[in-house]
Amino acid sequence: MQATQNISPGNGKNEALSPEQLAAGRKSRKKRLLVQPKSGTGMMVDSGKVSMPLNLFMAATLASELFDITFIDERPGNRVPEVLSGYDVVAVTSRTLNATKTYAIANRARRQGKIVR
């Protein structure tokens, strides 16, 4: 059996984990949904062609060591699922252009018992 080096989040020490241990840890990891909402405006700045949501990409990259991350950018047409049972926490970014949509997503997640950030 081949071992993989991993940093344990609990004590910060290196310990060798087997592929089976790593897989078991992944099954029990918390699931986070990061959302870049689309606004109801037709403005080019909200199309997803002008700017990438770098703040969410950075958060996803850093958090992926500890959590399973799903990133949804609604601007090019991706949709947030109606049922959010697969996620423990829903994080939604907001700008003035998409505040109404952000509140709608956050309210739906709260009604389903999710933590919203």
Architecture of domain 29-116 in CATH?
3-Layer(aba) Sandwich (3.40)
The model's pLDDT over 69-96, given as tens digits with 9 standing for 90+, comes to 998 888 888 899 999 999 999 999 888 8
45 and 51 in contact (C-beta within 8 Å)?
yes
Global pTM value: 0.67
Average pLDDT over residues 59-75: 86
42 and 49 in contact (C-beta within 8 Å)?
no
Each domain of the chain, given as residue ranges in start order, spans: 29-116
105 and 94 in contact (C-beta within 8 Å)?
no
Round the average pLDDT of the chain to a whole number and report it. 76
